[in-house]
Structure 1
Amino acid sequence: MSQDTPYIFDATAADFDQSVIQNSFHKPVLVDFWAEWCAPCKALMPLLKHVAESYQGELLLAKVDCEAEQDIVARFGIRSLPTVVLFKDGQPVDGFAGAQPESAIRAMLEPHVQAPPPAEADPFEQAQALFAEGQFAQAEAILQTLLTTDNSNAGALILYARCLAERGELNEAQTVLDAVKSDEHKASLAGAKAQLTFLRQAANLPDAADLKSRLAQNADDDEATYQLAVQQLARQQYDAALDALLKLFVRNRGYEGGLPHKTLLQVFDLLGNDHPLVTTYRRKLFAALY
């Protein structure tokens, strides 16, 4: 019996009673009657394999090559190909002839096959989702648990540092980031360091309300424009900050040795290349540069 996976195998006349009939007392067995010359059979087979694998062992798939196994064909009166028969407790209980869509196959199986166990959620992905929703304390709690079992997980360390930064533990966050040695997460590491930079800068700047008051009196106040953008970055008001930095760059690209351009690039690192704001403002910055 040659095996594709533990759940998928070829069945022959010599082992059919064991591999299909006896096995079906433990787990339902789907039998695919096929032949090399049958094009619909070849189209259906990958779909049956995909469905069987999705049940993670709760369903077995036996393949019968009808050209080689005429005895089995005669035994079950198979008249057309492909024919698929579901065996349970030693008996055929359901089936179909001809190619079928995945939805129809699953609907046929549903009353007979136990659903696969739900996949456990990846804790790092959970933490990422919570962080994106602004639930920093919950994300931090998951990351702490994750890091107790794997304290070299660079992605988790970087996100943990960002959680610390969000609650003002800037020095602790810096220590965590300094411990990340992996080259695999360069962009997210650069982004986390940029966030720390903005939070540190914002702590030493005038309040946002004071800066807005200055800009109300003089919209071209470069220092107030830049400092308010940093305050907005520290508060994750990225759209407003990017808009202000780009306008400052267009108005005075040499401000403080090219600080608007440098800061725009830091924000791009912080948000990541896939962020829609980064796509938009990279294009705008390119247009302003050239």
Structure 2
Amino acid sequence: MQPTQAAPEAQETIINVNAQNVQQVVDASMRMPVVMNFHSTQVPECQGVSDTLTAEARARAGQFLLANVNCDSEMELAQYFRIQALPTVLVLSQGQPVDGFAGPQEPAMIRQVLEKHLPAGWQLKLQEAQPLLAKGDFDTALPLLREALAEEQNGDTLLALTECLLGLKRADEAETLLGQVGLADQDGRYQGLVSQLELLKEAADTPEIRTLQQQISEQPDNPQLVVELSVQLHQAGRNEEALEALMGLLKRQLDAADGDARKTFLDIVKALGPADPTAAAYRRQFYSLLY
């Protein structure tokens, strides 16, 4: 096994460790788990462990750093870490050994040791979504954050998805999620999102919407006005109100407003996406009308 040698700060998956870069390896454990693999070409039992760790490091790229220590050439490092048998594997976190094993082990056991210290699926999705949120790429972040929340509902996933929804001007669902955040997680970020929601709701009450609402009150039997209002509501992020208004028309007549009501309803549902809970609820209502 001959992994490519490089400095750990370059975010490699596998490196060789020596006296010159060992401190960088320890420092890297402050950011992610580091798995130190002490091996020797003189001990055949090392090869199976090394092969399994290499395969896991490549399959889980970015989740941990595999740091290989060749004890044939780095005896001082082996002595420093008090290695008494080969192969030996140490898991470092926050600069300290927190787990490990000595001697050859089955791949399933090795994976079990790793999984205790690797980030969960929801954490990986959250990490992937964070830079997308930072640069305002809310559409790309949305499915990642929905998956993260489905796997684990906690303050981190709730607040991240809320931030994304507010970026997309989906005030209704954002407000629902904020209502699910526990007291322990109602920190400064939470308060900032509450303020952002209030501003979004205020901005969503546009003059065009108020004018159309007034016209509908004067012409309650004009379905085209309802369609126009629904379009304005959708553009303002008030999707539940838009779909509810259109569903009221469709329940009375599927081809209301010469079919515009149905088309607009389906356009809004499609725009929200299959994972949006509001869209899913109204999609079911629509199918019940058809069948």
- TM-score grouping bracket, smaller chain normalisation: 0.3 to 0.5
Q: What is the TM-score of this pair, normalised by structure 2?
A: 0.45
Q: What is the TM-score of this pair, normalised by structure 1?
A: 0.45
